[in-house]
Amino acid sequence: MVARVQLPREAKSGEVIEIRIAIQHPMETGFRYDLAGKAIPKNVINTLACRYNGTEIFRAELGSGIAANPYLQFYTLAEASGEIEFSWVDDAGQRGSERASIVVVG
Amino acid sequence: MRTPARRRFMSALAGIAAVPLLPVRVALAQADPFAPLVQQITGGAPVKGGRVTIDTPRLADNGHSVPLKVSVQSPMTAADHVRSITLLSEKNPRPVVATFHLGPQSGRAAVATRVRLNGTQRLLAVAQLSDGSFWSGSAEVEVTESACLDAS
């Protein structure tokens, strides 16, 4: 699964930073049919977690009401330089992860 | 030729027709479609209106992807912060759209995403604060082309 994480490269200590993630995923609702008339099984990213240097800072439980190629934007306090890591899992049990690093000054 | 007698008869008829309709209208207005879901989230705790805002276009052309931002008025300190935000839809076949878990490290209680909406409807966001209280806010969205979530 392809994903893109966007966050400022550098931040001041204690600053509120914006984090954005977009994941390529069909977020199949389970209400659609293929050309043969067979129901396409529901397959959505049901859980997504974000860790900042190992500590969970954000978690989302998603459903079929989230648009295809889910996009999320939220905030966090920049505390220390390090890694921001996302991990998620879909209904088919497929896992994905993506990381980005940040430098905190001051 | 309309005589006064006929007029009296017609107005009496209209009166009879209107009377039984009134209580039904009131009952419909009181039935909140979100009530059972909110009950599940809060476990019966009271929900206060306010502090929660849903920012979304009043008119969404495409129900398959509607940009939306939920924010909660909160200082986001260790003593007073938002624990979670649940987003509910009135008309989607699965009404619980998403749940976001936040904490004091969030700095700002706001989450933006894109949602699917099955038609013109009202959205409700319920936020749980660190003191255990619940707050809610809603938004009306008019959807021109609904996400065909139902098998049709």
Residue B151 lies in a domain: no
Cβ contact B94–A64 (<8 Å): yes
In angstroms, the CA B74 to CA B93 distance is 32
Per residue in A64-105, pLDDT (tens digit) is: 999 999 999 999 999 999 999 999 999 999 999 999 999 999
pLDDT at B152: 40
- Within 8 A of B145 by CB-CB distance, chain A residues are none
Residue B26 lies in a domain: yes
Percent of chain B topping pLDDT 70: 82
For B98, the enclosing helix (H) or strand (E) is strand B96-101
pLDDT at B151: 44
Chain A interface mutation, best of B83, B85, B92, B108, highest count of A Cβ atoms under 10 Å: B108
Cβ contact B64–A55 (<8 Å): no
Pairwise pLDDT comparison (B83 vs B3), residue with the higher score: B83
3-state secondary structure A17-57: EEEEEEECCCCECCCCECCCCCECCCECEEEEEEEECCEEE
Q: Can you give the residue range of the structural domain that contains B108?
A: 35-145
Same domain, B57 and B128: yes
Could you give all domains of chain A from N- to C-terminal order, each with its CATH number?
A: 3-105 (2.60.40.10)
Same domain, B9 and B61: no
Per residue in B22-78, pLDDT (tens digit) is: 555 555 555 788 888 888 888 888 898 989 999 999 999 889 999 999 999 999 999
Q: What is the ipTM of this complex?
A: 0.93
- Within 8 A of A39 by CB-CB distance, chain B residues are 151
Same domain, B65 and B39: yes
Pairwise pLDDT comparison (B121 vs A1), residue with the higher score: B121
Same domain, B74 and B44: yes
